[in-house]
Structure 1
Amino acid sequence: MRRRRYGPALLLVLTGAAILRISLFSDLYLRYVQVGLRPYLVVSGVVLAGLGVVAAVVGRRSYDDDGADHGHEHHGHGLRIAWLLALPALALLLFPPPALGSYSAEREAAQKAAQGVGTFPALAAGDPVDLTLAQFSSRAIYDSGRSLKGRTVRLTGFVTHGDDGTWYLTRLLVSCCAADATTSKVEIRGTASDGPPPADTWMTVTGTWHPEGRLGSDAAWPPVLDAMSAKRIGQPADPYEKR
């Protein structure tokens, strides 16, 4: 009877704690949403946990006043089903799912980072210049001014594999959260001959653009980078690129 009386309150507290676990006490929320949504997650977690505490206090007072737990016979089946809602919250609290990786990227249809051929602003001075994969792809595919020509760039992403032995540096782009993620990738050539790195390995690759196909055409995608160096790194706290 007590379990049924405190069940809804415990569910609220558990859900609130799970949200606070990933947003207030760590950066794990960046696996799922953009950084700007953190305050809303924190507030949501506090509200849910607070409501759970209030529900528990009210339930205890009600039980103390009545000395009985009325009506549980009619709601027992519904409460048992409601407990299933605790499983996602418990998983998020104890075992937060990883960020999207190569599986999601390979299932995503090819996405071009810009539309239409045109000129782009000049790159920052100095080599290598750090670019996101989306920035590199846009310039490689659509920049009629060839701003990448003769420049050394540095890109960061995770490894995905092609069917023909090629491998790509890949990054997922999000507008709001992981649910709207699309893929940006760059083919890497000229690395060591001992085979491509394992899928989902995070790497920073430095190299030069290798022109392929006519600007704006399907033959120009994905763009190619002739690698000069490739270094394995840990997954960034924020694994997604922003649109």
Structure 2
Amino acid sequence: MRGRRYGPAVLLVLTGAAVLRVTLFSDLYLRYVQAGLRPYLIVSGVALVLLGVTTAALRREAYEDEGQGHVEHEGHGGPDEHDGHSHGAAGPRVAWLLTLPAVALLLFPPPALGSYSAGREAAQRAAQGVGSFPALPAGNPVELSVAQFGSRAIYDSGRSLKGRTVRMTGFVTHGDDGTWYVTRLLVSCCAADATTSKVEVRGDDAPPTDTWVTVTGAWHPRGKLGSDAAWPPVLDATSVRQVKQPADPYEKR
């Protein structure tokens, strides 16, 4: 009965510890939410741990008080067992299954979203018309996000990408016809609202799916600006270099 007695407290502490592990002691939280939410997650984790410790202390005190005034009759179970049922003040035993997700998050944090999530989503492009974009910084190559390159390639009437060498980083996804893409997921708040941005890469062999790469090359114009024929944008690669996954794997909208 002791384990069931402290079940809710253990669940609270495990959940709070898991949240603190991915926020206070590492950058793993960036796999799930934006950096600005970190302080709120830390406060939530600390609150859950304190609540769990307080709950355990109160339960211990309550059972000690009950034990002092309770005389257990021969042939009868304790205060948590009545008529053979497996529930009592601490709740049903099945509630212990709720600890599994908390333990999993504590010991094996899930990875960031990757090619599976990108492949399940139909192409979603920002609802914007063709127009001019601000000038790109001087010098080559110019660093762009996958989403920035895509927007300029599809909607920029000023053709600011023309004649420029660009460099972008993302993970590899593959198409059904042998094409491959450098891909990033864009988030507004957390991984749950992620959408996909991708650029077709030509001129180099495809790395394995989900490999993170930095690609350098030049824009390959195709299709009419703002039309479906211009999607996805194309990059003629001069260099494809494998890199480590960044601490923050998502681009911001």
- TM-score by structure 2 length? 0.92
Q: Is residue 157 of structure 2 the alignment partner of residue 149 of structure 1? A: no
Q: Is residue 101 of structure 2 the alignment partner of residue 88 of structure 1? A: yes
Extract structure 1 runs of 4+ deviating beyond 4 A: 71-75
**What corresponds to 1:239 in structure 2?**
249
Question: What SS does the corresponding residue of 1:148 show, helix, strand or coil?
Answer: coil
**What corresponds to 2:183 in structure 1?**
170
**1-structure distance, mates of 2:81, 2:58:** 16
Change (3 A) 1:59 1:152: same
**2-structure distance, mates of 1:235, 1:5:** 43
Give the counterpart letter for 1:218 in structure 2: D
Deviations 1:129-158 (A, max 9, x none): 100011000000000000000011001000
Q: Is residue 61 of structure 2 the alignment partner of residue 61 of structure 1? A: yes
Deviations 1:159-203 (A, max 9, x none): 000111110000000000000000000000011xxx411000000
**1-structure distance, mates of 2:93, 2:150:** 51
**What corresponds to 2:171 in structure 1?**
158
**2-structure distance, mates of 1:72, 1:212:** 73
Equivalent pair of 1:174/1:240 in contact (CA under 8 Å): yes
Instruction: Report the identity percentage.
Output: 76
**What corresponds to 2:237 in structure 1?**
227
Equivalent pair of 1:203/1:230 in contact (CA under 8 Å): yes
**2-structure distance, mates of 1:10, 1:79:** 14
Equivalent pair of 1:172/1:184 in contact (CA under 8 Å): yes
Equivalent pair of 1:113/1:137 in contact (CA under 8 Å): no
Equivalent pair of 1:102/1:199 in contact (CA under 8 Å): yes
Give the counterpart letter for 1:228 in structure 2: T
Question: What SS does the corresponding residue of 2:102 show, helix, strand or coil?
Answer: helix
Deviations 1:54-82 (A, max 9, x none): 01111111112221663554672843221
1:1-243 to 2 correspondences below 5 Å: 1-67=1-67, 70-71=79-80, 73=82, 76=87, 78-113=91-126, 115-191=128-204, 195-243=205-253
Equivalent pair of 1:30/1:239 in contact (CA under 8 Å): yes
Equivalent pair of 1:4/1:76 in contact (CA under 8 Å): no
The gaps in structure 2 that reach 5 residues or longer are: 71-77
Equivalent pair of 1:116/1:142 in contact (CA under 8 Å): yes
Q: How far did residue 27 of structure 1 move?
A: 0.5
Name the one with the larger helix percent.
1
**2-structure distance, mates of 1:10, 1:187:** 49
- TM-score by structure 1 length? 0.95
Give the counterpart letter for 2:87 in structure 1: G
**2-structure distance, mates of 1:19, 1:81:** 23
**1-structure distance, mates of 2:121, 2:61:** 53
